[in-house]
Amino acid sequence: NEFLLSQFSLATKVQKKEQIILLKDCVYKIKEKFNAQFNDMWNIKVQEIKRINERCTRMKKIIKDLDLNENTIEVGVDSDEEPDRIFDVRDNEISVNKYISKEERIKSEIKRKKDEEKNSTNIDNNRGHALDVMMGGKLEASYEMELNYDIQKPSFMEKPEIEWSDEECKLAKEYEKKKQTLQEERDKYKKILEAEFKKLQTLNQETISNFDEKLQQLFQYKIKADMAVAQEELKMMRLAASISISDEMEAKEHNLLNELIQLKEEKQLSSSFISKVQTELDTLRMSYESLVSEDKYLDKTFRKEFPELDQFTVDFLYKLFKKRPQVQRTLKAVIDNQISLAEENRFELRVPSSLAVNAVGHSVEDTLNGLDSLENKPEKILVETWSKLVTLRRGKFEKEQQLKSKALVLAQINTFLQKKKEYDSELKSRIEKTSENIQKIRDERLQFNLNIEVQLLLKQGQVEVGICDLVPDYTECILVHRSVVENLNSTIKALGQTKLASMRESKDFRKGIHLLEWQLKEMLMQAEDLQTVAHDLQLLKVTKELQLYLSDTDQKLSKQQEIDTLENTLEMYKKIHQRSIKDKKRVVKALRQEIKEKPSIRAFVASDLHDHRVVLTRCGTWIRVLTVKSGPGLCVIFSFILLPLYLHELSTPEGSCGNCQPLFLDDVR
């Protein structure tokens, strides 16, 4: 397009938008041109398919006539090439009966009657019927039909040749001559058909190959067209992206300008407000200084108010003058409370500290009245002097309260002014930062407009940028001639080869040094091993077993003897083990027998124990009776009499159970 601008001339958004529209027109023309070529190729394909099918029809007839074992190609249009065919419905695809209207029925009936009339006329036309049957509906016989007809053989040739007459022999010769001529004609026609078949086959192959070449050219053109379309679309995308970035920068700059205007207005209001507050603060400070001077003047003139009194009394009165009620703590608590409330919620409506101080002053009025009463007057002070002191002290107290109120208000105004100044400085820094951002955005816009992104088409092999990502980064690339890169590469290769040769030489030399060092270490280690072996041989103690082992020539025989000895020892241990098992079983059997006898012994002992307990009970009863009647002495004598008898009874086999003895002795005691 002649209206297209160079990529280096695109600076404004209007030019870029116009360039995008022109590029879209170029893309449309490229696609339109390709579609035209594609339609031409489609028409060529349809024509060639039609010609090939006609040739194939002729080839099939030749194959049928010559009875050849050949196949013909089947060409056609694929459904993918004609996607509109999917909307076409064929009769064989419909499974239900077609609906026939009344008008169609009438038309079909009329057509059927016409066909019947035509058939009836054909039946009456014997000449036409005979022509169709005998000559294929043609008045002249074709050359092919004549070759298909065989010459009728004479009837006399069925007889033997001996019976033929001279005229029949001539007729037979003529028949053979005609037959030979017909066969020659058939052979000639066959060769003509074969040559025609090969020619048609060659034409089909040439047609297909020529069409494939044209199709390949169209495919190459399609690749180039797609490449051109992709390049132009990429240009449009880059231009659209640059327009979007430019709009974004403009919007950002516009927002920053609006913000700067708002900040400047706010800064102006803040500066005017700070100047007003500063003026009020100066006025308040002057009033505070005047109050301070008045308070100091009251302190200085106090002693002059009592010239008639002595120095000691004046000092005492000055102490009373300085005496104050407990309002300081109350005032401090109120101020701290106000400060804490201000820190907790700076935006809550609250009473100013001056009003709080005044409230404290009213709250301590009663305390002052009590302090100024005559009850607190010293004895040596006159009433007039006391009244004058009270008046001066109350005036002094009021001045102090005013000073404190002014000081508190002054402190709050100073704090407020300091915060406003901090906010004003913050606004100033924000204005400076916003101005810097605006300048930065403008510089970026200028750099963006000057640093134009240009799209270049480079041939393969001329790009020296490493492709590490999906899209290479060309931000730090330099466009140079290919010869510069090739010369530099050749120089680098030559220097690299020289360096590699020197490195190989150094490597081989060092390899030889390392090999000699390794061989030396190996020899030193071998010498150390040999010295260790010699020392071990010198310190080796040859025992009697070792001497026998060394002196014994037949090692297998000695090993067999050791094996036999061990087997004999094992057999002996097995016999001893079997004997010990039998002894253990015998002991176990005796113990089991003893366990079986224990229940009967236990029953006998239990019955004997019962008898002994009965006897013991009787003896205890006798002893208690004797103790009651005769005293403890007779009881002891009786126990000495019964004890030997009981011991004798226990010594018998029937009373040998040890369980009954403690019972008897306890009862005796």
Return the HEC string of 285-344.
Answer: HHHHHHHHHHHHHHHHHCHHHCCCCCHHHHHHHHHHHHCCCCHHHHHHHHHHHHHHHHHH
Host H or E run for residue 399:
helix 383-450
Residue 347 has pLDDT above 80, yes or no: no
Task: Report whether pLDDT(400) > 80.
Answer: no
Sorted by sequence, the CB contacts under 8 Å of residue 37 that are 6+ apart come out as 218, 221
CB atoms under 10 Å from CB of 354, counted, come to 15
The string over 221-240, giving b where at least 16 C-beta atoms fall within 10 Å of a residue's C-beta and e elsewhere, is eeeebeebbeebeebbebbe
Helix (H, G, I), strand (E, B) or coil at 531: helix
Q: Sign of dihedral through CA atoms 28, 31, 33, 39?
A: negative
CB 367, CB 326: distance < 8 Å? yes
Q: Which of 323, 290, 305, 238 is nearest to 406 (CA)?
A: 290
Q: Which residue reads 């006025």 in tokens?
A: 283
- What confidence tens digit (pLDDT) does each residue in 401-433 have? 777 777 888 888 888 888 888 988 999 999 999
Give the per-residue SS3 of 22-51: HHHHHHHHHHHHHHHHHHHHHHHHHHHHHH
**Which residue type, as a one-letter code, is found at position 144?**
E
- Report, as an integer, the average pLDDT of 233-248: 92
User: What's the token pair of residue 632?
Assistant: 């403890």
Assess whether pLDDT exceeds 70 at residue 493: yes
pLDDT at 222 > cutoff 70: yes
pLDDT above 90 for 303 = no
Choose among 58, 409, 7, 446: nearest CA to 250.
Answer: 446
DSSP-assigned states of every residue in 434-491: HHHHHHHHHHHHHHHHHS--------TT---S---SSS---TT-----HHHHHHHHHH
Residue 330's pLDDT is: 47
> pLDDT tens digits for 151-171?
677 777 777 777 777 787 888
* Cα–Cα distance measured from residue 175 to residue 148, given in angstroms and rounded to the nearest whole number: 17
Lowest mean pLDDT among 84-98, 352-366, 370-384, 458-472: 352-366
Return the half-sphere exposure (C-beta side, CA atoms, 13 A cut-off) of residue 430. 17
Which region holds residue 631: left if phi is over 0, alpha if psi is between -120 and 50, else beta? left
pLDDT of residue 132: 55
pLDDT tier for residue 658 given thresholds of 50, 70 and 90: very low
Q: How confident is the model at residue 133 (pLDDT cuts 50, 70, 90)?
A: low
In whole angstroms, give the CA distance from residue 31 to residue 22: 14
CA atoms within 13 A on the CB side of 147: 13
- In this structure, are residues 441 and 252 in contact, taking their beta carbons and an 8 Å threshold? yes
Q: With bands split at pLDDT 50, 70 and 90, how would you rate the model's confidence at 86?
A: confident
Cβ atoms of 422 and 255 within 8 Å: the answer is no
Reference 21, options 313, 347, 278, 239; nearest CA is 239
Q: Cα–chain-centroid distance for residue 220?
A: 42
CA distance 647 to 661: 9
Under the banding of pLDDT at 50, 70 and 90, the label for residue 514 is: very high
- Nearest alpha carbon to residue 338 among 319, 328, 351: 351
DSSP 99: P
List the beta strands (DSSP E) in 396-481.
none
pTM of the model: 0.48
Q: How many helices (H) and strands (E) does the chain have?
A: 15, 0
Highest mean pLDDT among 144-153, 158-167, 602-611, 654-663: 602-611
Using pLDDT thresholds of 50, 70 and 90, give the confidence band for residue 517.
very high
Q: Which two tokens stand for residue 301?
A: 């003139």
Percent of the chain scoring above 90 in pLDDT: 26
Q: Take residue 534 and report the two structure tokens written for it.
A: 């010699």
Report the pLDDT value the prediction gives residue 524, as an integer from 0 to 100. 94
The answer to which of 57-66, 378-387, 620-629 has the lowest mean pLDDT is 378-387
Residues 84, 86: Cα–Cα separation, whole Å: 5
